Structure 1
Amino acid sequence: MIDKGYLLGERYRIIDTLGEGGMANVYLAEDIILQRKVAVKVLRLDLKKDPQTEARFQREALATSELSHPNIVSVLDVGNDQGLPYMVMEYVDGPDLKDYIRMNSPLSLHEIIHIMDQILSAVALAHKHNVIHRDLKPQNILMDKRGNVKIADFGIAVALNQSSVTQTNSIMGSVHYMSPEQTRGGLVTKQSDIYSLGIILYELITGHVPFNGDTPVAVALKHAQEPIPSIRKNSPSVPQALENVVLKATAKDPRDRYASAQEMKADLDTSLDFSRKDEPIFVPSHGANNDETIILPGFKPQIKEESSTVQEEKTNPKDEKTSKAGFWQNFKKHKWWYIFIGITAFLIVFIMIFALNGRSNNEQIHVPDVTNVAEGSAKQRIEEAGLVVGTVTRKHSDSIDAGKVIETKPSAGDALNRGSRVDIVVSSGAGMTKVPDVVNEEYEDALKKLQDLGFDVIRENQYSSRVPKNQIISQSIAAGVQVKPKQTTITLVVSQGRAPKPKSNMIKLRDLAGSTLEAAQDYAREHGLTLQINQEYSDTVKKDRIISMQPEAGTSVEKGSTITVSVSKGEKEQTEETNVTKTFTVNYEDNADSSDDDGATDQTTQDKEEKGNHVQIYIKDDDHSLGNIYRDLYIKRDMSFSIPFSLKDGDGQLRVVRDGKTILNEKVTK
């Protein structure tokens, strides 16, 4: 266990424990750089030196990082702290689907289909990337507070092109949701995931799993041998078409199941249609799969079987009409006849392989180029070329994404004998770099220093009576903090020298139409105006240029007045935007003139002078409520803000309060 307060990877401060598993522990942590909560999965200390567990942990990170989908938990970072691997994921604040069903069952049919549609959409993407989850169950499906689904735990997921797909005589995953072929230790395919999805749909409808038992093997045998219990027998209101989706997804023979998650989703989405109200019950065309049930490790079922000898005695004819047939029948009656046949077949195959290898030993093969290819795909290409994957090492790379190949040893194009080893070097992502201190340096020198390290730099100008012109006043990320340069942008606040004194309190507005947004912000800052920005589409005005302004150009206004400008978002695309960024400037008000009648400085005014203006920002969108403070800070200079709004479900609202007084309150639309 990791203690609360520990700074993992010098970036993630542990807040609390979220869960403990057989392979890893999951913690709630705070990203001290981006100031957001994250979930951190850390390999258990006692499994630190277990190569199989560490490989499974790395496989989960690789499998999930390659899948970008709103219904799959995102992997944000992968790292190593003092030899202990960890994985940083988005934090989902809500119950898992198992608890959600327990708390809310029975669910409405429309809600069930909405939940399943999200799960099926995520699984369809994973299958598109040839990744099989193998452990789909409600405990691995999280629900946020808005009812959105997030699939997690790809710890035993495998790619279809990896040799570890078939694990004979082994069991992985949860037996209550496991397909019959998994219980037999057979080949795991996409249809195995679809079977698990059918069981999840059954549980969403009924509130419980179809099969239970005193032991795992009892449950496994029911999956392999017993039909799925009827849903409509206890719930006649469930349409037959919906039950048919469950029956088809959970067919014993994979050939009777849906060919893909997309096909299952399409069938599910129409299951409540009136046109399907008289649909007959689904009957599989292949029947039950009667393959031998392999005993899984740790399972000790008591199964009474007739011996093959007895079966042969029942079926073989008693009369032997010819000497040749008589010999064969007597041979088959022997208790070990199938072993003799197996040994003979093995010797034939061995001789053929030996002969083929003997012909191809001297064949020269060129090492394939797998640079910037995902590790699993790279291994497949090397093996398909007739070579063997050797040592896999990992190192940081600023140009190659994590999980992809940097280089091979020998290099791509080199000629090797068939069966030779090829080592691969895989990227573990960009390395960490300490942010240098550039405060009080000349801007050009600071810019070159940061860009040479790989940082993106944004310049922000500000008047200052203390810092000489063109020198750095402050930097957005403190010196000494370790970050990944390729993923980090640093804002430098640059001095423009002393601010010019205004000639009067009245300002005659110039025409800002056609100006850039940056020019309008500079104009507002220079004249002590508050700029309120509205964004809208325009077919005539270029993106990020001013369409119109209120009050109109030529109007005389007092210093501190609010000017509203409409900024072009360019031509409207056919797809509707759901994310809107609102940009505005809050001016700093000097409180030095505030005093009591007797000339003594008020204590509250002194506090304001020390801290600056107290600014509180409230927003309302799909993710935030106007009743909660979005940002709470003190400013001692004019500051610009860019606030992102998620407006998929309607309009938003922005309210800005400075020292207890509302200075901006407006509706935000798409």
Structure 2
Amino acid sequence: MIDKGYLLGERYRIIDTLGEGGMANVYLAEDIILQRKVAVKILRLDLQNEPQTQARFQREALATSELSHPNIVSVLDVGTDHGLPYMVMEYVDGPDLKEYIRENSPLDLREVIRIMDQILSAVALAHKHNVIHRDLKPQNILMDKRGNIKIADFGIAVALNQSSITQTNSVMGSVHYMSPEQTRGGLVTKQSDIYSLGIILYELITGTVPFNGDTPVSVALKHAQEPIPSIRKKDKSVPQALENVVLKATAKDPRDRYASAQVMKADLDSSLDPERSDEPIFVPNHGNSDDKTIVLPGFKPQKTTAEESKKEEKSEVEETPKKEKKSFWQNVKAHKWWWIFSVIAAGLIIFIMIFALSGNNQPKQVNVPDVTNIAENAAERRLEAAGLQVGKIIRRQSDDVKKGYVIATNPTAGNSLDRGKSVNLIVSSGSSMVKVPDVVGDDYDKAAEKLENQGFDVVREDQFSSKITQGNIISQSIAAGVEVKPTQTTITLVVSRGKAPRQRSNTVTLKDLHNYSLKSAQDYARDHGLTLQINQEYSDDVEKGLIISMDPGPGTKVDRGSTIAIKVSRGPKEEKETTITKNFTVNYVGTADDSAGETDNNKDEDSSSSKSSSTKGDHVQIYIKDDDHYLSNIYRDLYIKRDMSFSIPFSIKNGAGQLRVVRNGETILNEKVTK
């Protein structure tokens, strides 16, 4: 154990213990340079003398630092302190998922999917970097105060899995989430992580794990031998499609599980859709089989000796009754061309048997094959080979699946369908950035379907128009050709209502819209049959959201249906904050002021001791002035017994900052800090 107050790596002061594990301990610490709380994972003291273990810890910590994802705990620093390896991570101030489930179960199903989506997204990135977690469980999944998921311990399970350092307690603690192949000591793959994800999803839905037992071995045997208990028997409100996600992820045979975390996420995201309400229960293709020998009734074993064979032939000949008159076939056989008739007859019999078998033995139902992550044409051929037809081809943006490859099917893989039924393919249209298509003048229904299939959210607004046919699009809120992320973009389509009702005059005298709100301008345009073209720009004079100018200008007479261009204020342009880091060194002189430690009660934790200042070293006080600090307040207050370097960040938008350093009551540094 590391004592509280210990300064690890001359930078991280230990505050408290967060957890103790079989291979490493985790501490809450303060980064004295950046003044923030961090979590520090330190290899256990009893393992520090194993060079191989230290090398693995260092290598895996560095590898984990490459997993940059909002739902993975960030690795901030890696180092050693007196030969003891440590890893510094972001501190997540919140419960782990196990605690969250215990306190909030039952969870709303949409909340379950929101949580699982974050977990699956993080695991997908790890698998992309060929990092298999091996120990996914709610205890390793943290949740911050805003409900964001953070997965911890990525890569460590892979690094520390050798027999010399495996700790029984750490393995047994995870047995509730282990795949059957892990409990048998088999090869661990990405599908092993997917099994654990399925168990976590089960627990999110039901509040409990599927298997419990008196010993870890009994739980492991249940994972290997027993089917996952039905969720719908406990709660009928859970859709079959959602239970199917659990069943497929936790299939005993890894071949029946999802091919990847991305595919599982795509299936999960549509599990509450109404069109999947009648989905049949998932049935794996590679179920456990009984390797028992079945003896068919009436089967006779083959004779093993020539003598027995001759006896049987003789008995059969003796038992054959003699006929006084030859049959038709006997007459044919007696003819010298008898063999020609035999061949023709045999061929007819074989043809009839093949025809009968092909017509009668085909199963009425077939399982939808898994065609995810393969090319569209190959997927179509595989569906047709399985006896199914290809239905709609739906194009959808994907950051994870290559363009032209299948994201998912509807119904999903593993479902049973009648032979000849159609299966829709959801095919990747490529990466997230796509060009907005030009739909002005198009029929609204067709344009909206086109945009939604690309992943856009579509909002409709109706306006009168004397030029555009009713039901067709007058304008679109994002110009054609602009590259955007469809899943994060809403496009407003202004749709023609046809010509405005006949009024006294077909012309409008424009009023001055300057300083009107955008909503007021839109109401005015709608009431007078006008179309607005909206542009935005920064303004120091006009409040954000108000109209800066209009074209044509106020007082202009225009026809109803005309387009008016307006500029809307985005407010003043904010100057980008600048962070400047000031580096300096304070030399140790060993002549501390005796009164320095007695005049200020607000010192750091060392100043509370009863020792005199001369035994504590030089008393250093740092003052800074920037956008967040005043020069009159002490920024840092500490004692040093050696030369110490500092790195102080300054936040400066305008003007300049200031740095002042006092050692033993004497100012040794006082200078301005500018951009």
TM range (shorter): 0.3 to 0.5
Larger Rg: 2
Normalization by structure 2: what TM-score?
A: 0.45
Normalization by structure 1: what TM-score?
A: 0.45
